[in-house]
Amino acid sequence: MTQRTRQGTVALAVVLLTAAAGCAGGARTPGAPSAPRDGGGPSAVGGAASARTGFTVVASGDVLPHASIIRQAAADANGRGYDFRPMLSGVKSVVSGADLAICHMETVYGQEGGPYTGYPAFKSPPEVATALKETGYDSCSTASNHSLDDGAAGLRRTLDALDKAGVRHAGSARTAEEAARPTLLKAGDATVAQLAYTYDTNGYPLPEGQPWAVNLIDEQKIIADARAARNAGADVVVVSIHWGTEWQTAPDNRQLTLGRSLTASRTGDRPDIDLILGTHAHVPQAYEKVNGTWVVYGMGDQIAGDMINHGGAFDPRGNQGTLGRFTFTPPTAPGARWEVTRAEFLPQWFDTGRGRVVDLNAAIKRGEPLTAVRDTIRDVVLERGAARDGLVMGE
Q: Which of 187, 191, 211 is nearest to 201 (CA)?
A: 211
Domain of residue 153 covers 10-28+50-393
Q: How confident is the model at residue 251 (pLDDT cuts 50, 70, 90)?
A: very high
Q: How confident is the model at residue 22 (pLDDT cuts 50, 70, 90)?
A: very low
Confidence (pLDDT) at 18: 34
Confidence (pLDDT) at 3: 41
Confidence (pLDDT) at 26: 46
E-assigned strand segments in the chain: 55-63, 100-105, 139-141, 168-170, 183-187, 190-198, 236-242, 266-267, 270-271, 275-279, 287-290, 293-296, 301-303, 320-329, 339-351, 356-359, 392-393
255 domain residue, yes or no: yes
Confidence (pLDDT) at 198: 98
The answer to whether 190 and 45 have CB atoms below 8 angstroms apart is: no
Residue 210 has pLDDT above 80, yes or no: yes
Quick: pLDDT tens for 157-194: 999 999 999 999 999 999 999 999 999 999 999 999 99
287-290 vs 301-303, strand pairing mode: unpaired
Quick: pLDDT tens for 71-80: 999 999 999 9
Quick: pLDDT tens for 254-290: 999 999 999 999 999 999 999 999 999 999 999 999 9
The answer to whether 100 and 58 have CB atoms below 8 angstroms apart is: yes
Per the structure, how many domains does the chain have?
1
Confidence (pLDDT) at 347: 98
* SS3 state of residue 361: helix
Quick: pLDDT tens for 114-133: 999 999 999 999 999 999 99
Q: How confident is the model at residue 52 (pLDDT cuts 50, 70, 90)?
A: confident
143 domain residue, yes or no: yes
Cα separation, 141 vs 320, whole angstroms: 20
Q: How confident is the model at residue 51 (pLDDT cuts 50, 70, 90)?
A: low
Give me the percent of the chain exceeding a pLDDT of 70: 87
38 domain residue, yes or no: no
Residue 5 has pLDDT above 80, yes or no: no
350 domain residue, yes or no: yes
Please give the helix or strand (H or E) that residue 177 lies within, else none: helix 176-180
DSSP state of 167: -
Look at the pTM and tell me if it is higher than 0.85.
yes
1 domain residue, yes or no: no
CA angle 282, 65, 144 (to 5 degrees): 55
Beta-bridge partner residues of 301: 62
Cα separation, 123 vs 381, whole angstroms: 31
Cα separation, 291 vs 260, whole angstroms: 7
Q: What is the CATH number of the domain that holds 176?
A: 3.60.21.10
Cα separation, 97 vs 364, whole angstroms: 21
185 domain residue, yes or no: yes
Q: Mean pLDDT for the chain?
A: 90
Quick: pLDDT tens for 81-102: 999 999 999 999 999 999 999 9
Sign of the CA dihedral 163, 197, 237, 389? positive
The answer to whether 62 and 296 have CB atoms below 8 angstroms apart is: no
